[in-house]
Amino acid sequence: MEAAALLVTEALGGSRYALARLISLVEDDGADARAALATLYPHTGQAHVVGVTGAPGTGKSTLVNQLAKSLRAQGTTVGVVAVDPSSPFSGGALLGDRLRMRDLAGDPGVFIRSMASRGSLGGLARATGDVVKVLDGVGFDVVLVETVGAGQAEVDIARTAHTTVVVEAPGLGDEIQALKAGLMEIADVLVVNKADRPGAAKTARALEMVIGRNAPRGEAGQDGWCPPILQAIALDGTGVPEVLDAVAAHREHLRATGLWATRERERVETELLGALRQELLDQLLARVGEDQIQAWVERIAAREVDVYTAMQFILDAD
């Protein structure tokens, strides 16, 4: 526990080495991680958490890179959490992509962390939330969370951000990828990236039509915000300042309307229930023992008993 407290103190003091170790600790969970998060928690709640999500091939990693560079140029400090296993930030991409990220290296105002996608559904969401808290707590002004954004887990992770940027690109298929992935409803800012490619205007118009289904064009939606549709070429930085302006405008909107606090409470409730769910199971497994569980697994696999009946037996015997 003392080691964890020391890591927090050193990370708060600006040590990147301590920060990296603290993030690894938090990713792996455990008693020390929880002690560290408890110490750090009063320092959190300041960062603007921005999710950047979109289908593979939309160039969202490049956009994240450009957003981070532009924010740094404004003097804003930036943490990046890449939940996409194929993100160049996580080393899964081609060399060309990885080189593009290099120009952020060596800047103390930037910290980049990629999340391994090992473990279970809830595990990744939990770990991502905790890593964001660490970056928030040690004082990064903006935390960018990059997700591949085409599955329920990613939608749930994106939902924990204050502002969600959904990235689209022309020519990825006949239809709008964000629509296919169910991302439209969580988009606060829409970006048509690779806007120099054929079909960019068509993609933007298609997005406008989809947005228009929910709210007449130009009018605000339920929460008083009409998601702007922007065009960008992340590769050379075109349109990136406009994306940042839209992200900043959305933060002001959240602050002015009280939605910031609403989103915060929703996120906290999801986290609390997730933590309770996992802790209750861990405690049960410690009492019941792995052998007992395996014996039930064998009986269920043999069709002697179904999962829910076995569950009831285990709980009744506990």
Interaction residues for a copy of itself, span 231-250 (CB under 8 A): none
Among 10, 107, 242, 271, binds a copy of itself (CB under 8 A): 271
CA-atom Rg of the chain in angstroms = 21
**Residue 6 binds to a copy of itself (criterion: CB under 8 A):** no
Please tell me the distance from the alpha carbon of residue 295 to that of residue 267, in angstroms, as a whole number: 37
Backbone angles phi, psi at 236, to 5 degrees: -115, 5
How far, in whole angstroms, is CA 105 from its chain's centroid?
Answer: 21
Which of 258, 313, 253 minimizes the C-alpha distance to 288? 313
Q: Position of tokens 């204050």?
A: 162
Nearer to a copy of itself, 16 or 255 (CB): 255
**257 near a copy of itself, judged by CB under 8 A:** no
As measured in angstroms, the least distance from the Cβ of 32 to a copy of itself is 11
Residue 129 burial class via C-beta count within 10 angstroms: exposed 0-12, middle 13-18, buried 19 and up = buried
Interface segment toward a copy of itself; rule CB under 8 A; list 7-15, 212-220, 236-244, 260-268: 260-268
Nearer to a copy of itself, 148 or 244 (CB): 148
Of the candidate spans 8-16, 62-70, 98-106, 274-282, the one that interacts with a copy of itself by CB under 8 A turns out to be 274-282
Residue 314 vs residues 90, 139, 276, 284, 297: alpha-carbon distances, Å:
40, 45, 19, 9, 12
Among 1, 279, 287, 289, binds a copy of itself (CB under 8 A): 279
* Dihedral pair phi/psi, residue 69, rounded to 5°: -60, -45
Near a copy of itself in 134-163, by CB under 8 A = 148-156
By beta-carbon proximity to a copy of itself, the closer residue of 73 and 116 is 116
Phi, psi angle pair for 48, to nearest 5°: -90, 110
Strand partners of residue 167: 54, 191
Which residue, 75 or 317, has its beta carbon nearer to a copy of itself?
Answer: 317
Cβ neighbour number for residue 199 with a 10 Å cutoff: 15
Position 100 contacts a copy of itself (CB under 8 A): no
Q: Can you tell me the distance from the alpha carbon of 296 to that of 52, in angstroms, rounded to the nearest whole number?
A: 42
Assess 173 for contact with a copy of itself (CB under 8 A).
yes
CB 176 within 8 A of CB 206: yes
Tell me how far, at minimum, the Cβ of 200 lies from a copy of itself, in Å: 15
Cβ proximity to a copy of itself: between 223 and 266 the closer is 266
Alpha helices in the chain (DSSP H): 2-12, 16-28, 31-40, 60-73, 95-101, 121-137, 152-159, 177-180, 200-214, 240-257, 259-288, 290-301, 307-317
Site for a copy of itself in 117-136 (CB under 8 A): 117, 120-122, 124-125
Q: Which stretch binds a copy of itself (CB under 8 A): 71-79, 82-90, 100-108, 208-216?
A: 82-90
Positions 9 through 68 that interact with a copy of itself (CB under 8 A): 34, 37-38, 41-42, 44-45, 55-57
Interacting stretch for a copy of itself, rule CB under 8 A, among 212-220, 224-232, 251-259, 290-298? 290-298
Shortest gap between Cβ of 34 and a copy of itself (angstroms)? 4
State the nearest-atom distance from the C-beta of 248 to a copy of itself, in Å.
23
Choice from 210, 215, 259, 300 touching a copy of itself (CB under 8 A): 300
179 is a site residue for a copy of itself (CB under 8 A): yes
Of 93, 226, 249, 259, the one binding a copy of itself (CB under 8 A) is: 93
